[in-house]
Amino acid sequence: MNIVMQELFDRFQKLPIMEKIEFLELLKLFHDNPEFRAAYDAATPPGHETPPGATVHGLLTAWKAGAL
């Protein structure tokens, strides 16, 4: 495992269980749902990696509410 993956894994292991579940749900959306990915990309300003103020919980909540 490379150092970046090890760091991500270590951080994931330290998350509370509910945050782990939300993170995995978000990964599944990115992988399985092109509509989610398109909405995420549309909400992300040029030169940024995420929409402004994005959190895992916030992204999931916005998607479920139809706001993303």
- Examine residue 5 and state whether it is found in any structural domain, yes or no: no
pLDDT reported for residue 1: 64
- Residue 22 sits in which domain range? 16-64
Give pLDDT, residue 34.
Answer: 92
What single string gives the DSSP state of each residue in the chain?
--HHHHHHHHHHHHS-HHHHHHHHHHHHHHHH-HHHHHHHHHHSPTT-SS-TT--HHHHHHHHHTT--
What is the structure's pLDDT at 32?
92
Whether 1 is in a domain gets the answer: no
Q: Indicate the number of domains in the chain.
A: 1
Asked whether the predicted pLDDT for residue 68 surpasses 80, the reply is: no
